[in-house]
Structure 1
Amino acid sequence: MYLVGKFEHSVNAVQLSALLDITYKTAWRMLNKIRSVLSMESQQIWGEYIEVKHEIFNQQALLSDDRLQKERSVAIIKSVKRDENNCSSSFFAFQLLSRRKQAREVLEHSEQAEILIRLNLGGHSSVDMNPRFQQFQKRNTAGDLVNSGKRTCHPLSVIASNAFSWMKDKFHGIGDKYAQQYMDEYCLRLNASTGAITCAFEHTASLSLQMKH
């Protein structure tokens, strides 16, 4: 838990097996168990303002029917919370979506509602949902969103791109079965850096104790 939470770019099974002098299989199982507890984040983390944006995992550069079938829709969630001193912190999470449509299709209203239910956000009073896979915004020179002007990448799209690049570079590609766990791990260190959680190691240990009970 300490290595997963404290290493800037995490630790993979090959590195862990060497550090602890154990087999690769044992190291992989240990890391898999640690990542599995990170999906236990509860709605108490959610703050006053929630933003949800549609992104694509395993995005393909060359488009064909076969390649488009490999893409998966992901919801990236940003929650802004203020403490008693009126200081704000941002909490991030990913939710891998199961869809019958191609990932690049706009999320339907029923799919949006299902996302909110799965995240325990059904009754939240302030949720901004962006159902389109639209990575760029248009801003004028003052920085306001407009229908024309200079394009800039959406901040949540930047975070998603960084997360997916990390998964590819550090672990040489992740399949659908375990993708959610690796996204959760990425958010562990991201949320520690924003101050949403105080310590990645302590947070993971606390979640593991909750699982035992």
Structure 2
Amino acid sequence: MLNLIRLSISCADNKYNLLSGLVEAKHEIFGKQEILTDKRLKKERSVIVARQHGTTDSDYYKIKIISRQKEARVALTDAEQRDFTSVHCEQKLLQLQMNPRFQRFRKQEYVAVTEQDGTTRWEHVPFNGGDARYPLSRIVDGVFQWMNQTFHGVGLKYAQHYMDEGCFRLNYAAGKSGEAFHRLLQCTFETLPVGLSNRVNTMSGASLKLAS
């Protein structure tokens, strides 16, 4: 049942929820290894985390695994960026800002401060909350942490479905639980074959009766 729900979320996200308006995207790594060896580096996978904003009241997030032959820590090529845009973004995209490098921390910023005696010194500008990570890096870290803590690690075979579920939870976190459940049923009916949709409908109806 849960696998069917995750499958429906992934299908609906790919088919109906294309990014539009202003989109920020960044190269990140799934399965990032702390000890770097040739064998361990092969376990890493490139992902693109993207945020749509400015078109609705709330932001919309996607995290998608990128299929490539290169090591995950190598910067995304122009062709790989175009492939992501063509699959996951509307054609009438207003603006896309893509960071193709795996770069988790922002550079420190400094401003010039003039003292009363006329001398100038450089003063460090702290990041909001003291977190030097990029905002999108914080988002993807949160989803990956949820996956690890909830499911105690996820293999590559089903990783994309769990990422889509994590983004679904994130996208509807600000709304009411009823709205998220309604959208979940929509995803199921829109994407699954008729037989499976009827099966999910029957099971969800039974769940509602038990809850009442």
Partner of 2:47: 74
Tell me if structure 2 keeps the 8 A contact 1:192–1:198. no
Tell me if structure 2 keeps the 8 A contact 1:73–1:98. yes
Partner of 2:185: 205
Aligned residues: 175
Q: State the identity as a percent.
A: 37
Tell me if structure 1 keeps the 8 A contact 2:49–2:61. yes
Runs of 4+ in 1 over 6 A off after TM superposition: none
Deviation at 1:204, TM superposition (A): 1.0
**Mind listing any 5+ residue stretches in structure 1 that lack a counterpart?**
1-29, 143-147
Cα distance in 2 for partners of 1:111, 1:164 equals: 22
The 1:49–1:90 alpha-carbon spacing in structure 2 relative to 1, beyond 3 Å, is: same
Aligned Cα root-mean-square deviation (Å): 2.4
For residues 1-213 of structure 1, the aligned pairs below 5 Å read 30-39=1-10, 40-41=12-13, 42=15, 46-83=19-56, 88-140=57-109, 152-195=132-175, 199-211=179-191, 212=193
More strand by share: 2
Cα distance in 1 for partners of 2:93, 2:41 equals: 33
Tell me if structure 1 keeps the 8 A contact 2:22–2:53. yes
Partner of 2:118: none
Deviation at 1:140, TM superposition (A): 2.8
Larger Rg: 2
Deviations 1:163-197 (A, max 9, x none): 11111121111111100000011111111124599
The 1:109–1:61 alpha-carbon spacing in structure 2 relative to 1, beyond 3 Å, is: same
The 1:109–1:49 alpha-carbon spacing in structure 2 relative to 1, beyond 3 Å, is: same
Alignment TM-score, normalising by the size of structure 1: 0.74
Deviation at 1:81, TM superposition (A): 3.6
Cα distance in 2 for partners of 1:112, 1:43 equals: 20
Tell me if structure 2 keeps the 8 A contact 1:35–1:185. yes
